[in-house]
Amino acid sequence: MLFSCNPYQPSVMPDAAGKIPGAYSLYGEEPNPSSLWWQSMGSTELSRLIDTALSDSFTLKEAWARLQQARSLAVLAGAARYPDLAATGSVEYTRRRSETLSGGSEGDGNYAMGLVSNYELDLWGRLRSQQEAARINVEATQADLQTAGITVSAEVADRWVRIISQRLQKQLLEKQLANNLIFLNLIELRFRKAMVSALDVYQQKQVVENVRARIPLVEAETQLLMHELAVLLGLPPRADLSLRQTDMPVVGRLPALGLPADLLANRPDIRAAGMRLKAAEWQVAAARANRLPALRLTAGAQYGRSDLDLLFDTWLLSLAANLTAPILDGGRRAAEVDLARAQADEGLWFYRQAVLTGVKEVEDALESENRQREHISGLESVMAAARKGLEEAIQRYRRGLSDYLPVLTQLIAVQDLERDLIRQQETLIRYRIALHRALGGGWIGDTEPPEAAMGNGHRG
């Protein structure tokens, strides 16, 4: 990686992002997308859940704490560019035996106070480079916080959609169970009239029990998803989430996609990778400057009991300047430069990987949603044909033109398709959530931590 001859000015790399496609394979039709993408789902329940997560999620509170750490480190890095001032003090007490007739002792106290200051002249920009690296790292950490917000909102929406899907599956299974029991009663009635064999009865009972056995699994999956959602909201697993919605949200037109290059600004994880690349370049500049001589100034003054009144008038009584230049260090400083350069190169390739991964995720979501819509359309056609086939099989069975096997086959096919259609609709919505997540939208952009994050924190 190349830098300019000035050690505290790292060179700008305009092609750091690498090659980016000019456009996506599909284009969004929505002209004015909402910054809060979940509002496009048209569910006040989902909006409530995500609002709760953005204020109470432990993941976001952790991210806020990391941001506070980065800000403190930036203050520490900047403090090195200013002189420090420290106060010193000492007390001496001498006790000696008196030679008077009383044989007592006498004491004498002496105390002193002083000020000491140290300052390094930043001749080559080493301290400034370290401060710039720390400042940029704060921005990268804030982008990490935004990434966490996008991730949490997408995870909440994902669990919510899956819970609704499981509840619809349970409703469907209960409906299928009721219909299968009606079929079973009719077959048993025909069996008692010697119109069918016992095999028909056992086959229908198998269908009944198969549907009945699926219900506990769906209930268990629903409860596990409820536990996951509660933890995402910062609540205990068995908390009451007051979920009332019983129908799937409707996925509308594609949101505005923009261009792949827009991801460099819209995706906070990509911004964070780019900022860390810049911070690494400043670290290289600091490592190079550390190989040059350093000039440090030290000033100090000390006053005893008799002249404390002069302390704040003319305290600068001694001034020393130390110039240190590395001669032999076993290659340590050169290795520090090589290490910083290798870390900057690592950041460059990580940044380019993040950019291409972001474009890939958008393309994946677009392709998946597009093909999923085609798949659902095909399933609906198969469903219509299967239901007509079931009606025809039932009519032939009632007229005695066929045995029960065609009815059984069509019944199982229809019920499997009904359950699969719910799963595929769920998958379609999850692809849309993945698209919003890949585009990097949906963060409000607050710069202050939520009140919930500060309520239980420790304060010194």
E strands, 258-390, in order = 294-304, 318-324
Rounded CA-CA distance 386/380 in Å is 10
- What pLDDT does residue 48 have? 94
Rounded CA-CA distance 294/132 in Å is 19
Q: Which residues contact 2 (CB under 8 A, 6 or more apart)?
A: 11
Q: pLDDT in tens for each of the 460 residues of the chain?
A: 434 444 556 765 667 777 888 788 777 655 445 568 888 888 999 999 999 999 999 999 999 999 999 999 888 888 877 777 677 666 666 665 555 555 555 555 566 666 666 767 777 778 888 888 889 999 999 999 999 999 999 999 999 999 999 999 999 999 999 999 999 998 999 888 888 889 999 999 999 999 999 999 999 999 999 999 999 999 999 999 999 998 999 888 888 888 888 888 889 999 999 999 888 888 888 888 877 777 776 766 666 555 555 554 444 455 566 666 677 667 888 888 888 888 888 888 999 999 999 999 999 999 999 999 999 999 999 999 999 999 999 999 888 888 888 999 999 999 999 999 999 999 999 999 999 999 986 555 554 555 544 444 444 3
E strands, 43-179, in order = 84-97, 105-121
Closest-CA residue to 324 (of 335, 316, 333, 315) = 333
Residue with tokens 């509170």: 61
Q: For residue 299, what is the DSSP state? A: E
Whether the Cβ atoms of residue 288 and residue 339 lie closer than 8 Å to each other: no
Whether the Cβ atoms of residue 10 and residue 282 lie closer than 8 Å to each other: yes
- Residue 186 dihedral angles phi and psi, to the nearest 5°: -65, -40
CB atoms under 10 Å from CB of 177, counted, come to 19
Whether the Cβ atoms of residue 152 and residue 59 lie closer than 8 Å to each other: yes
- What pLDDT does residue 169 have? 97
Q: For residue 239, what is the DSSP state? A: -
Closest-CA residue to 286 (of 341, 329, 342) = 341
- What pLDDT does residue 378 have? 97
Rounded CA-CA distance 64/70 in Å is 10
Closest-CA residue to 132 (of 329, 345, 286, 354) = 286
Whether the Cβ atoms of residue 414 and residue 207 lie closer than 8 Å to each other: no
β-pairing verdict for 294-304 and 84-97: unpaired
Sign of CA dihedral 322, 328, 331, 334: positive
Q: For residue 255, what is the DSSP state? A: P
Residue with tokens 């198998």: 206
Q: Which domains does the chain have, with CATH numbers?
A: 42-83+113-455 (1.20.1600.10)
Whether the Cβ atoms of residue 37 and residue 436 lie closer than 8 Å to each other: yes
Rounded CA-CA distance 246/160 in Å is 11
Q: Which residues contact 35 (CB under 8 A, 6 or more apart)?
A: 441, 442, 443, 444
